[in-house]
Structure 1
Amino acid sequence: MFYLKKSFLKITLIFTLLLLFPLMVFSYSMAQTKIPRGGTLKMIYQEPTHLNMAIVSGTPTGIPGCQIFAGLLQFDENFKPLPYLAKKWEVSPDGKLYTFWLEEKAVFHDGKPITSEDVAFSLETVKANHPFGVAMYRAVEKIDTSNPHIVKFHLNYPYPAFMFALHPLLLPVIPKHVYGQGEIRKNPANYKPVGSGPFKFVEWKRGQHIIFEKNEKFFRKGRPYLDRIIIEFIPDSNARTVSMETGATHLVPFSYIARDDALRLAKLPQFAMTEKGYEAIGSRTWFAVNLRKPPLSDKKVRKAIAHSLDRNFIVKQIFLGLGKPATAPFHHAGPFYHGNLPQYDYNLDKANKLLDEAGYKRKADGMRFDVNIDWIPNPTYQSVCEYAREQLKKIGINANLRASPDFPGWASRISAWDFDLNFDSVFDYPDPVIGIERMYISKNIKKLIWTNTMGYNNPEVDRLFAEAQIEQNFAKRKNLYLKVQEILWDELPLIWIQEGGFYTVYNKEYEGIPMDVWGTINPYDAVYWRKGKAE
């Protein structure tokens, strides 16, 4: 009898274990796939002028700004819109009404709820102050905020670029009760911001770092995974590489490590390098020309400069094969690119002839005139300018290189129109209305970086851009943009050099680095440290 009972107990135990085993395996698997929490992500990038990206463009403000401020939408790797502050949306059949439902539990860092009035205030602020705010939102006729959790944008006409302009980089939702007091450019919150993003501002030590800590009230449940993000400012290129290689830094975006160092680091097992995440940028480099200043106001002079620069050499030798030579005013990957423009081939004889025809003869020392060259602080860009100096000398132009100590110093100089030639990196963005026309329309001649600081004024170009902005037929719209490019390519308010490819270098201990079309200009709520604590 005892033997039977014992056998029965064994059978029962085995049967029970068999039943529980799948649950045990499932539980173990769930434990293994839980995302670790905690840890600090250390980055290196350029120091911004301030932290309110509603009133300034550029990645130095955009990267930290996307940690502080949420937006209505994010986008996947195929430009498909994804929910963020807006949990859902509808577009009317005529394309003139956009309705967005907001996350009801979303609050700002100070605990105040986010409402449709904050969204409306943010759009009006961007429209009035951002370098290309008018271009992005001039189709908006009125904003309905009658329901605090529903915002309705009424447009004067269908505007296919509108959804692209709702990413947090372009439309950060800022609290009206904080930024609506007084002159926004003098608001102290520009330096100690209050937003609703995954991380809260803690500290900014000028010339050293900015520190952010996790937002415990972030509306995406369970996020962010990291405790802290620190963005450090290290102006020396070699020091940045050393910091990355020793593990003191974990992430460097936007090619802020020299290309050869990045390629070397990428061969080490602990690092990765990617060119993904820059598709929405449509980056390009160029020499902006201050058209107010003779002799640069002479088109023949600008064409001579264009012929003196070997774009293939610049791309292959200075950018180490990154990107490709620019062949039109619009990026080649865009739908409106003009692929049949006559090229400014590298030809010193042609360049010298153009300068002679323009009346700028060589003096006794062999030089014709002097120019200054500025560049946005970046070691590769400095190398391009050093190359340009030597090339310009060959055609009798004496170029003086003027290095800026940091990004704010460069921005201050260019905003004051205090330049002759300025080598810069600018983005086309997903639609010409957002990223391209701002550089050329006369209404956007402003003392503000990444606007028409060249002083270019052509009524026909203004007219063509205005027509294209509202044209719904793609073929007709493209034809308008082709005409724009033909004029710009002939007049050369800019001397286009390279179509970029940026890259990101990061430590593999950190996963979830954004790789969609906006890449590192995104909230880092999904980034986690593999050595963090699994909960």
Structure 2
Amino acid sequence: MRHMFKQFLTATAAAALLATSAMADEPKRGGTLVTVITSTPRVLNPAVQSGIATGFPGAQLFASPLRYDDSWTPQPYLAKSWEVSEDGLKVTLHLVENATFHDGQPITSEDVAFSVDVIKEYHPFKSMFAPVTSVDTPDAHTAVINLSKPHPALMLAMSGQLMSIIPKHIYGDGQDPKNHPRNNVDVVGSGPFKLVEFKNGEHIILERYDGFFMEGRPYLDKIVMRIMPDSSARAIALENGELMLAAFEAEPTLIQRLSKVKGLNITNKGYGGIGPIDWLAMNTTRGPLQDKRVRQAIAYAIDKNFILKAILRGTAVEAKTGIHPDSPLYDADVNNYPLDLDKAAALLDEAGFPMKDGKRFDLTLELAPFPGYKPQTEYIKQALSKVGINATIHSSADFPSWAKMMGTLDFDMSLDSVYNWGDPVIGVNRTYMSDNIGKGVWSNTQGYANARVDELLQMAGTENDPEKRKALYKEFQEIVADEVPIYFLNAVPMHTIYSDKVGNPPMGIWGTSSPIDMTYLKD
């Protein structure tokens, strides 16, 4: 049964949002937060660019219609209230009346409609707004989003960095929004902070927008985002107090090192929306990997506990499916493939690959061009040798070479790291839908095709009833766990590291890819 609901920006709703943020002290206004980004953003405009490098500054510069708390509940933001029609084909947003862009121009429903059009055309996540046919603007503060079919992912897609409201009077000048000159210089945003300076490779400086529509916020005067790709340099800067906050840190040695530093706090909360997962991708279209028994044998041959405890040093949690463990849709009951070399050998024998002279067959194992993947890759090679699979490690010259190889299915196996981006429609379906095979990196690079999986994902993508939707995704996860086009290893061990001086650090589902207007500095 489809449902209609409303959310209102009332004192109760605002209080609930503050409560979920776990504020230990009374927030204080003022001060400069010095934080870090690990790479230089290509652009600061999230309407045309995905990724966490753009997400941190972009979510501060631009506001979205909704925001989410840490329990996956939508909260008002630019939209003070909203309704979903009974048939799920209309979502009506009621905007706050006092919101302005950083140049003082009012934010209106025309800007919402314009932003949706830009995101649909230029953002890489095409599934986010694919069912949106039009946006009506009956008045300046009402936007009616019309859909060709129910789209349960729309709520999440209107939060975080995914639906930035950009000014029509700036970006509607006929220039290409993706390469617009105002994407990085003289940015006119809609969020709690405005741009002071973006110096490529060095820093991004933001300061409070005094005209922000949420009274009393943001609390900080200024945010300095230093650009520091080197993890050792970041660790030193955190240790000596030069940096107050770092997010998306995933190196086990760095996390363990900083966990011993007095005055620093470390948490893995706040990454459920991003939903990063490490896995072993298998090309199901060629060689022995066409047989699911071979893929199951590979799963049984790998000691996931060794990866979690010895290689990742207890900093990561297990992932059993392609849906992130923090998601309400995650199914923890699927087959986990515990280490069982005898079962692996029996499956390989059954599949017609007996042991001959100490070997069954050869495969290539790509070394993905991401930091920290070498130990896992070398371990998997060793683990597979115990059941007679000779895996040769191959290193690509650079990321584009690896991406092309993956996108054209010119590989046997490779570790990979893929993000959920909140809802399976946005970041999960792309990996398993048969009509998305070989569409580039982070598409269906396994060549995996299952008609029932296609059907389940299509149904779940239009089902607004939460329980029915969960049941559809449960069956999907069970099938994929059985057929193993991917062997899921762990959630990427992303952590936020922050000083005792930082109050209310970002802990919602989007981490720093959401506004940090409630973060403050203590005395």
Specify if TM > 0.5.
yes
| Distance in 2, Cα, partners of 1:273 & 1:386 | 29
1:387-426 deviation line (CA, Å, top 9, x unaligned) = 2233244443333253787x88976875676765443333
User: Match for residue 118 of structure 1?
Assistant: 111
On the 8 A contact 1:331/1:499 being kept in 2, the answer is yes
| Distance in 2, Cα, partners of 1:178 & 1:333 | 38
Q: Does 1:271 align with 2:261?
A: no
| Distance in 1, Cα, partners of 2:231 & 2:107 | 41
Aligned mate of 1:164, from 156, 160, 163: 156
User: Match for residue 75 of structure 1?
Assistant: 68
Q: Does 1:402 align with 2:395?
A: yes
Query: Equivalent residues in 2 for 1:299-310 (5 A)?
Result: 299-310=292-303
User: Match for residue 496 of structure 1?
Assistant: 488
User: Match for residue 344 of structure 1?
Assistant: 337
Structure whose CA Rg is larger: 1
SS in 2 for 1:490: helix
SS in 1 for 2:513: coil
1:27-62 deviation line (CA, Å, top 9, x unaligned) = xxxxx9672413242224344444333344332322
| Distance in 2, Cα, partners of 1:450 & 1:279 | 19
On the 8 A contact 1:282/1:429 being kept in 2, the answer is yes
On the 8 A contact 2:503/2:522 being kept in 1, the answer is yes
Query: Which stretch of the first structure deviates more once superposed, 455-464 or 366-375?
Result: 366-375
Q: Does 1:325 align with 2:324?
A: no
Q: Does 1:440 align with 2:432?
A: yes
Aligned mate of 1:235, from 224, 229, 238: 229
- The alpha-carbon distance between structure 1 residues 148 and 494, as it changes in their structure 2 partners (threshold 3 A), is same
On the 8 A contact 1:374/1:421 being kept in 2, the answer is no
Q: Which amino acid counterpart does residue 242 of structure 2 have in structure 1?
A: A
SS in 1 for 2:189: coil
TM-score (ref. length: structure 1):
0.79
1:436-468 deviation line (CA, Å, top 9, x unaligned) = 223222344465554334343333322221122
1:285-337 deviation line (CA, Å, top 9, x unaligned) = 21233445655555444334322321122122223223433334444554544
Using the TM superposition, give the Cα deviation of residue 245 of structure 1 relative to its aligned residue in structure 2, in angstroms: 0.6
| Distance in 2, Cα, partners of 1:242 & 1:408 | 31
On the 8 A contact 2:272/2:324 being kept in 1, the answer is no
Query: Equivalent residues in 2 for 1:41-60 (5 A)?
Result: 41-60=34-53
CA RMSD, 1 decimal: 3.6
1:324-356 deviation line (CA, Å, top 9, x unaligned) = 333344445545444554442323454456556
| Distance in 1, Cα, partners of 2:227 & 2:286 | 34
User: Match for residue 16 of structure 1?
Assistant: none
| Distance in 2, Cα, partners of 1:148 & 1:424 | 45
Using the TM superposition, give the Cα deviation of residue 506 of structure 1 relative to its aligned residue in structure 2, in angstroms: 0.7
- The alpha-carbon distance between structure 1 residues 87 and 308, as it changes in their structure 2 partners (threshold 3 A), is same
- The alpha-carbon distance between structure 1 residues 196 and 140, as it changes in their structure 2 partners (threshold 3 A), is same
Aligned mate of 2:281, from 276, 288, 308: 288
On the 8 A contact 2:46/2:164 being kept in 1, the answer is yes
User: Match for residue 508 of structure 2?
Assistant: 516
On the 8 A contact 2:66/2:77 being kept in 1, the answer is yes
- The alpha-carbon distance between structure 1 residues 340 and 273, as it changes in their structure 2 partners (threshold 3 A), is closer
Using the TM superposition, give the Cα deviation of residue 488 of structure 1 relative to its aligned residue in structure 2, in angstroms: 1.7
- The alpha-carbon distance between structure 1 residues 204 and 161, as it changes in their structure 2 partners (threshold 3 A), is same
On the 8 A contact 1:114/1:175 being kept in 2, the answer is yes
- The alpha-carbon distance between structure 1 residues 76 and 336, as it changes in their structure 2 partners (threshold 3 A), is closer
User: Match for residue 446 of structure 2?
Assistant: 454
On the 8 A contact 2:27/2:219 being kept in 1, the answer is no
Tell me, which stretches of 5 or more residues in structure 1 are unaligned?
A: 1-31
Q: Which amino acid counterpart does residue 95 of structure 2 have in structure 1?
A: L
On the 8 A contact 1:175/1:194 being kept in 2, the answer is yes
**Identity of matched residues, %:** 42
| Distance in 2, Cα, partners of 1:385 & 1:114 | 50
Aligned mate of 1:484, from 456, 472, 476: 476
- The alpha-carbon distance between structure 1 residues 355 and 121, as it changes in their structure 2 partners (threshold 3 A), is farther
User: Match for residue 253 of structure 1?
Assistant: 247
Q: Which amino acid counterpart does residue 237 of structure 2 have in structure 1?
A: S
Query: Equivalent residues in 2 for 1:88-127 (5 A)?
Result: 88-127=81-120
Aligned mate of 2:219, from 225, 234, 243: 225
TM-score (ref. length: structure 2):
0.81
Aligned mate of 2:255, from 256, 259, 262: 262
| Distance in 1, Cα, partners of 2:434 & 2:446 | 10
User: Match for residue 215 of structure 1?
Assistant: 209
- The alpha-carbon distance between structure 1 residues 117 and 383, as it changes in their structure 2 partners (threshold 3 A), is farther
SS in 1 for 2:444: coil
Aligned mate of 1:151, from 136, 143, 146: 143
Q: Which amino acid counterpart does residue 504 of structure 1 have in structure 2?
A: T
On the 8 A contact 1:141/1:156 being kept in 2, the answer is yes
